[in-house]
Structure 1
Amino acid sequence: MGRRRRRLSEEEQALWAQVAASTVALHPAAQHQPKPPVAPPSPVAKPKPNLHHSARVTHADLVAFRLGQSVVETAWRHQPAPSLPERLAEAPLNMDVKAHRKMTRGRLSPEARIDLHGMTLAEAHPELIRFILRAQDTGLRLVLVITGKGRLGADDGPIPTRHGLLRHQVPHWLHQMPLAPAVLQVAQAHLKHGGAGAYYVYLRRSAR
């Protein structure tokens, strides 16, 4: 038979109640504080398929493309630089309209001419200055400056080379000091006077 447990007497029960009432709990807050709820794990976003590296491309991926469709127009477009004749044609008209029309059509004969063809830039610049200032000083109005069109040599390099350095440089010289005050208008010559290889230079009247 098992051992029978002895019941406490009334005096023992009263003594135990006094002892239990005088005790203090070591962690009273921990006994009654509820445990915080555990948040569920956040779902992991699935990566979008990369069409550049995907082995399969479905018909839905290509639905936005139509064979033969035109290129979408953009706000920015590359505009090539205007050519030299275009820049001269768009320059402000400073001389008489009728005289300018006759000049560009080759109906006015130049009163003097200078041929810079074959010269270097260093040689041609001072020659042009002397010619223009002397022509204005003697009262001439229309003179012809011949530059040549430039030789087309072999151009095998990665950077394109501009041909006809004098043809491109002379108009700049004519609009710079000391020639700018003497020059009223510059235009490409008519074919009968050299065409793209020459310029009409219409001079201002001399102040003398």
Structure 2
Amino acid sequence: MIDEDDRRAFADATRDVRPAKRSDRVPVQSPRRAARAIHSRAAVLETLRESLDGSWSDFSAADIAFRRPPISETAFRRLSRGRFSIEGELDLHGLTRPEAKAALKDFVVECAERGLGCVRIVHGKGTRSGPGGPVLKYLVHHWLARWDLVLAFTSAVPRHGGSGAVYVLLRRR
């Protein structure tokens, strides 16, 4: 228990203390633009109808996976089960293709330079992409597979976004 003398001593010692200014903080991620619909309501309803009658392809729900030769099957299995600690995350929802590619590349380079090993990238499941299926999901897969900093990636487990996100193992610089 704190007695009255200690309270007074503390108050005297901290009398001139002022809160630090918050202007020196750097935002972790730039604010995202709001998502906007690019397909008509009819296209969305058609996709929903096809998904309910079974004629819709499972392509959008398919898991994606990639690994380079230095990554062992055991390490890759651990990655696919979500057993690595996620050290960084990027959400691409609402971005256009060029914006998503630039954001993804900047994120991967920055994380590799910071020495991060495993990151998660949320690209979405493409449920609002219309009849053509997901767009960013397969572009992210394509881009990641081309970059040498990426050692492996696989779809996330359901609690981390499932087929709407990927875990990525990075080569540390």
TM score, norm. by length of structure 1: 0.50
Equivalent position amino acid for 1:107 in 2: R
Deviation by residue 1:33-78 (Cα, 9 ceiling, x = unmatched): xxxxxxxxxxxxxxxxxxxxxxxxxxxxxxxxxxxxxxxxxxxxxx
1:130 aligned partner: 106
Matches within 5 A, 1:1-208: 83=59, 85=62, 88=65, 94-152=70-128, 161-176=131-146, 180-206=147-173
Percent identical pairs in the alignment equals 35
C-alpha separation in 1, matches of 2:169 and 2:124: 19
Question: Any conservation in 1 of the 2:97–2:136 contact (CA below 8 Å)?
Answer: yes
C-alpha separation in 1, matches of 2:64 and 2:136: 16
Greater RCO, CA 8 A, separation 6+: 2
C-alpha separation in 2, matches of 1:204 and 1:92: 11
Distance 1:87 1:105, change over 3 A: closer
Secondary structure at the counterpart of residue 90 of structure 2: strand
Question: Any conservation in 2 of the 1:93–1:185 contact (CA below 8 Å)?
Answer: no
Q: Quick check: which has more Rg, 1 or 2?
A: 1
The alignment yields a C-alpha RMSD, in angstroms, of 2.5
1:92, distance to aligned residue in structure 2 (A): 5.7
Gaps of 5+ in 2: 1-57
1:203, distance to aligned residue in structure 2 (A): 0.6
Secondary structure at the counterpart of residue 109 of structure 1: coil
1:174, distance to aligned residue in structure 2 (A): 0.9
Higher helix share: 2
Gaps of 5+ in 1: 1-81, 156-160
C-alpha separation in 1, matches of 2:63 and 2:159: 20
TM score, norm. by length of structure 2: 0.59
Aligned positions, number? 116
